[in-house]
Amino acid sequence: MGRLKLQPGIKSIEEEPEEFETTISEKDKAALGCMINTEIGAVLAVMRRNVRWGGRYMSGDDQLEHSLIQSLKSLRRQIFSYQHAWHTVNPTVYLQPFLDVIRSDETGAPITGVALSSLYKILTLDVLDLNTVNVEDAMHLVVDAVTSCRFEVTDPASEEVVLMKILQVLLACMKSKASVMLSNQHVCTIVNTCFRVVHQAGSKGELLQRMARYTMHELVRCIFSHLPDVGNSENVYFNGNNIDKQEVSGIPVDYTFGAKQMENGNSNSNSELDSQSSVPGMDENIVVPGNGKDTVPYDLNLMTEPYGVPCMVEIFHFLCSLLNVVEHMAIGPRANTISFDEDVPLFALSLINSAIELGGTAISRHPRLLSLIQDELFRNLMQFGLSTSPLILSMICSIVLNLYHHLRTELKLQLEAFFSCVILRLAQSKYGASYQQQEVAMEALVDFCRLKSFMVEMYANLDCDITCSNIFEDLASLLSKSAFPVNCPLSAMHILALDGLIAVIQGMAERISNAPVNYEFTPVCLEEYTPFWMVKCENYNDPEHWVPFVRRRKYIKKRLMIGADHFNRDPKKGLEFLQGTHLLPDKLDPQSVACFFRYTAGLDKNLVGDFLGNHDEFCVQVLHEFAGTFDFQDMNLDTALRLFLETFRLPGESQKIQRVLEAFSERYYEQSPLILANKDAALLLSYSLIMLNTDQHNVQVKKKMTEDDFIKNNRHINGGNDLPRDFLCELYDSICKNEIRTIPDQSAAFPEMNPSRWIDLMHKSKKTAPFILSDSRSHLDRDMFAVMSGPTIAAISVVFDHAEVEDVFQTCIDGFLAVAKISACHHLEDVLDDLVVSLCKFTTLLNPSSAEEPVLAFGDDAKARMATITVFTIANRYGDFIRAGWRNILDCILKLHKLGLLPARVASDAADDSELSSEPGHGKPLTNSLSSSHMPSIGTPRRSSGLMGRFSQLLSLDTEEPRLQPTEQQLAAHQRTLQTIQKCHIDSIFTESKFLQSDSLLHLARALIWAAGRPQKGNNSPEDEDTAVFCLELLIAITLNNRDRIVILWQWVYEHIAGIVQTTVMPCALVEKAVFGLLRICQRLLPYKENLADDLLRSLQLVLKLDARVADAYCEQITQEVSRLVKANANHIRSQMGWRTITSLLSITARHPEASEVGFDALLFIMSDGANLIPTNFITCVDAARQFAESRVAHADRSVRALDLMSGSIVCLTQWAHEAQEAMGETDSAKTCQDIGDMWLRLVQSLRKVCLDQREEVRNHALTALEMCLTGVDQVNIQPGVWLQCFDMVIFTVLDDLLEISQGHSQKDFRNMEGTLVLGLKLLSKVFLQMLPELSQVTTFCKLWLGVLSRMEKYLKVKVRGKKNEKLQELVPELLKNTLIVMKNKGVLAQRSALGGDSLWELTWLHVNNIAPLIQSQVFPDENGNGNGTGTEESG
């Protein structure tokens, strides 16, 4: 029934212990008796002082004592005679004598004061509790007696004492354990009495004033602290509505607020609590202003029951009524200078705040209390919010903060109105607020921002609601703008706004830490038309439902605002745009257009008015649908008309006005007929109000309409009858006092709150969507952050720039890191890039260095150091999501590098540490190609770098000047600089790059390439070259660290290195790093990236393109690296192109004095014993070996070894042929053998070239090797056709060339050619005879044989140094004879009697006779014929 539950677990509020207070044990009854006896004695003693009371004792027994003294003495006699426990004694017995003294108007102030003290002592002894007999009556008696206390005033001081003691006793009653037995009426009486003391105290001493206010606070706290324990009051019974105004709250006049009259004679003799004040009592203003209806009063029976909700409602309503001192003033900017005593409203507000603090969420369970807060309280808060008093504004903000915390689910639209009309208006100076108001409003806003859920809930409930304003966006914009110091130094207000902004950002960051969002962000898209004003959520408590719902609503709201912008430029195109985005149907219907006009902010109200007033049938339908969106239920006509005309500008044409007012009147009559007979009456009266409004508020109208004129104009319009005069007078007054604005103000950013808007707000609040409570997860943070990230970064940056205190620096840094965390979590790369760009500016590293010693300047600049650490902290933590920002970060790194502040091997370590330990090597581990540790750098040597190197520079400062010892300040600054760089962990960016996301990694690599600059032909400055070298080192480091993702980087790395190689014409450090870096990449990656092996090896062709001067300078080192590459990765090189590149690099070294030995060593590794020879690399290796054989930069022995490699390779061909025959089918085997034949042919062709070498031993060894290769291929199935090619291209050619050399060159150039010719001729004969069986089967054998004969003939006739050679003269006939014998024995050469003759036979002898005519007879002694083939035969 809405009263306090008497549960055992509920305890009344304990009285704070005082000096004389104690608790009486049940066992010690006598002690309590003694105490009460003491109090009786005290009262009697004071009474005896007074002549009136003292004289009665001396008159003798014949004169009776006064009844007050008799009752006290009677109690004294009984006090020690009680045998039972005290709680069984009726308290009335020992309280009544004291109460009689308090009530008596004969007693003076001292006597009443002592009696009140005695009563207070008894109440605080805890004698009265729920177990005490008749405790309820006793408590009621106490309250009645104290609140009707009367006494004679002797002096002002004693009167104040009595009033203070009354307050003390009333508070003790409420804090007593038995207070739960008090009725609603008694609690109301106590509060009323206390308030009247407060009011009276204004004319008395300061102490009483403070005591009275304190007591009032304590009473309110005590009463409302019980609200959470009170049962639900939904079923409270009420009286009917038609209650006589005389019993306003159903409470008899003997206890309603302000109605208790204390009899007090004249002012100089008697005193009572003054009731004649103008401050309203609780029986006044019960009607809630503004709603046009009386509040339903409580039933009288409820007011006499134990106290609960009814008295709390009455008290709270009374407190609200104290704020109504400016009830009829306008609420808006014009009312900003409210002139009133701030004391009363401030006091009332503090009491209301206490009630809300203690009532808490329990208020929402009691509709009448909640209704008071939603309507009357908030309306007054809105009104007082624009007060010029900072104290009042501060208290209002505290109340709203408490209301938000406890009751925000019930105050959605009220909160929106408060922020729109109070906070956003006052926090900006442009709306006329004073600095104090701005500061209080900003402090309040920051307090709200520190509540982690506040901004999220504002966004979800208001920004994402098409019928509400964008409070979150407005507040975030306000904070960011307010943090900007514009043309002024940084002030406390800027810092305050920054605190609020960072509190919001850190709240988002904390939500990420609490529970990272695991769903992917998907943009909202409307596939088809659905009425946007009817979008609903299935479950407002489940994030799975409400998150997509509010995001969809926000999308709709944004699209509507874009549509509004289009509409304002061209209404037709605006509607078409909305149709295109599925917010309006393809075929427009009146309802959808009406809702677009009704719920979209930012529309041009002139255009809307013209559209609604149009005579077109569709426009008329839209007008009626538009009117149907309004709720005029129980609303006054003028209020309804104001609301209606606020949404558009009333057109100027009379016909349009009529159509608009007809639609309005129809809707109004439909909802609020009240006393109107029909809709025509509503139409006529509306017209009349518009005319009155024009008449009263148009300056051109000189003669104004009077009230009587207005009433006369509206006769007989209500269905032929007159409207009540009071009704018309009320309308007349309303219009006169408050103009209906037919031209709405479209410029006001934050509209003022007027009575009609408040009524509309209360109507809307009944229908608005439920309030969404956010949890600790970051459901909407991405959308919110996208809105505020840019202004936030800008605001923090500006404050950071202007700040001079480290505390502010740290606040800004915390904000930057929170922004970075949120950007990274929600994958907002652009935001993170913007942040990095902003921060890099503060490092001062990107500024042109104006300081003489930039390192010391940096060490002295705390802001720059903090910014630098933050930049690199972000790069290390959130590098995955940095894109374009890498360029700025690299600019900072390069500046540090130029200053010599980076660790010496920051780039090299990045690649070395993770690789060397796990990489197999031959002998010593591979040294770092990027550093110059194992080779001299050709370019300009780099100056001392590294932390210690820079420190040593500092110590010397300037080598040309006499050395100065650095000061302590300089040393400290330098130390700070070094510590800062260490904290940055710059090397981690590159060593940990293998963990970067692919996109970020690619941007980092591209940033390095960009930072290195485009290579240019000619001489770059040493500084530019140093930068390019350093960037290249870093690029190669991240390439090596990301071998598993080399595909992402390779194209960019290759193109950069190619650019360097192709544009460099002189040796320098840059090209050195490029070439050896490339080789190193190949060394490292070939074992792991077989699919990329060709690309890697193809890149080495860049080395072949080096300028001759550059190539010559680095040839030996390049060859060493290639050698290492081959030895470590020979098994991983599979392609012909790869081997061609490798052997090309080795071949080049054949003619280089320093490099040739290393190159030949690598070739030896490949070809020795055929260890690494494969069909793919056979030809290229043979060609390389040929070049080494032909090279004359080393001793001839190496050429001989090269020839041995070539001849030894024939073993591989034999092996491959054998394997092919065993492993493959006939077709595949034939193909392989053909390939092997081609390789063999290339081999002997290469040897042929060496056979022409000037050096005798090389030339002769080449012929020997050639003979070995020609005769050692028995197991290789060389096709006869290939042999024919071999004779033509190799054997015949080499014999011809040797012959030509022997005749055309001097002996000085080619020594001992005779021996070479002999070897060549023997080679011819041997090979011919070995292959005779196969060659004789080919059709062109005759041509081949003639070729052999012709060479023998030439060699026979050759003249070396002018004379024929004896050896050849002997050798040729002998070889010829052997050849003919073999041919004869093989049956190749024989005379045949075939028809047509035997051309082979005849041609043979034709040539043989030219060489040695006698040979025929020696070989064919039995044949007849001559050398000419004529058949003649020599005899004998």
The count of C-alpha atoms lying within 13 angstroms of the C-alpha of 186, restricted to the half-sphere facing its C-beta, is: 24
Confidence of residue 920 (pLDDT cuts 50, 70, 90): very low
1178 vs 532, residue with greater confidence: 1178
Tokens of 1093: 């092996």
pLDDT at 142 over 50: yes
pLDDT, residue 233, reads 47
First and final CA of the chain: distance in angstroms?
163
pLDDT at 258 over 70: no
Q: What are the residues whose beta carbons fall under 8 Å from the beta carbon of 21, sequence distance 6 or more?
A: 15, 124, 125
**Active site annotation includes 653:** yes
Is residue 650 a contact partner of residue 663, using CB atoms and an 8 Å limit?
A: no
pLDDT at 1425 over 60: no
Catalytic residue among 18, 653, 1023, 1300: 653
pLDDT, residue 59, reads 47
**Least confident among 184-193, 263-272, 303-312, 1220-1229:** 263-272
pLDDT at 699 over 70: yes
Record the pTM.
Answer: 0.80
Phi-psi region of 279 (alpha: psi -120 to 50; beta: other; left: phi over 0): beta
pLDDT, residue 851, reads 63
pLDDT, residue 850, reads 63
Is residue 836 a contact partner of residue 871, using CB atoms and an 8 Å limit?
A: yes
pLDDT, residue 878, reads 95
Tens digit of pLDDT for each residue in 342-396? 788 999 999 999 999 999 999 999 999 999 999 999 999 998 888 888 999 999 9
Distance CA 1129, CA 1087 (A): 7
Q: Give the per-residue SS3 of 585-637.
A: CCCCCHHHHHHHHHHCCCCCHHHHHHHHHCCCHHHHHHHHHHHCCCCCCCCCH
Distance CA 356, CA 351 (A): 9
The residue behind tokens 């009379």 is 654
pLDDT, residue 53, reads 67
pLDDT at 934 over 80: no
Confidence of residue 294 (pLDDT cuts 50, 70, 90): very low
User: How many helices, marked H, and strands, marked E, lie in the chain?
Assistant: 64, 4
Share in percent of the chain as helix, strand, coil (round to 5):
65, 0, 35
Tens digit of pLDDT for each residue in 611-625? 999 999 999 999 999
Distance CA 999, CA 981 (A): 27
pLDDT, residue 385, reads 87
Q: Work out the mean pLDDT of the chain and round it to a whole number.
A: 82
**Least confident among 397-401, 404-408, 806-810, 1342-1346:** 1342-1346
Within its chain, how far is the Cα of 1261 from the centroid? Answer: 77
Q: Which residues of 1251-1273 are buried (b: 16+ CB within 10 A; e: fewer)?
A: bbbebeebbbbbbbbbbbbbeeb
Q: Which amino acid is at 1197?
A: D
Looking at residues 448-459, what average pLDDT do you find? 95
Which value, in Å, is the radius of gyration of the alpha carbons in the chain?
A: 56
β-strands 270-271, 151-152: how paired?
Answer: antiparallel
Is residue 983 a contact partner of residue 875, using CB atoms and an 8 Å limit?
A: no
pLDDT, residue 531, reads 84
Distance CA 1404, CA 1412 (A): 12
Helix (H) or strand (E) holding 961: none
pLDDT, residue 266, reads 34
pLDDT, residue 268, reads 38
Confidence of residue 963 (pLDDT cuts 50, 70, 90): low
Tens digit of pLDDT for each residue in 1045-1073? 889 999 999 999 999 998 888 999 999 99
pLDDT, residue 232, reads 59
1067 vs 745, residue with greater confidence: 1067
Alpha helices in 917-1067 (DSSP H): 947-956, 968-984, 986-991, 998-1012, 1022-1041, 1046-1063
Distance CA 420, CA 415 (A): 8
Confidence of residue 248 (pLDDT cuts 50, 70, 90): very low
Is residue 148 a contact partner of residue 165, using CB atoms and an 8 Å limit?
A: no
% of the chain exceeding 70 in pLDDT: 83
767 φ/ψ angles, rounded to the nearest 5 degrees: -115, -5
Tens digit of pLDDT for each residue in 63-102? 467 888 888 888 888 887 776 677 788 888 888 999 999 9
Confidence of residue 272 (pLDDT cuts 50, 70, 90): low
pLDDT at 239 over 50: no
Tens digit of pLDDT for each residue in 27-48? 466 778 888 889 888 888 888 8
344 closest CA partner among 221, 185, 209 = 209
Highest mean pLDDT among 164-168, 263-267, 332-336: 164-168
**Least confident among 3-7, 870-874, 1166-1170, 1415-1419:** 3-7
pLDDT, residue 292, reads 37
Reduce the DSSP state of residue 306 to 3 states and report it.
Answer: strand
Confidence of residue 134 (pLDDT cuts 50, 70, 90): confident
Confidence of residue 58 (pLDDT cuts 50, 70, 90): very low
Distance CA 448, CA 834 (A): 28
pLDDT at 502 over 90: yes
1050 closest CA partner among 995, 1001, 987, 1095 = 1095
pLDDT, residue 8, reads 39
Highest mean pLDDT among 745-749, 992-996, 1152-1156: 992-996
% of the chain exceeding 90 in pLDDT: 40
Confidence of residue 298 (pLDDT cuts 50, 70, 90): low
Looking at residues 1214-1239, what average pLDDT do you find? 82
Reduce the DSSP state of residue 230 to 3 states and report it.
Answer: strand
Confidence of residue 320 (pLDDT cuts 50, 70, 90): very high
Tens digit of pLDDT for each residue in 527-553? 777 888 888 888 899 989 999 999 999
pLDDT at 286 over 70: no
Tokens of 416: 């929106």
Tokens of 845: 């590293």
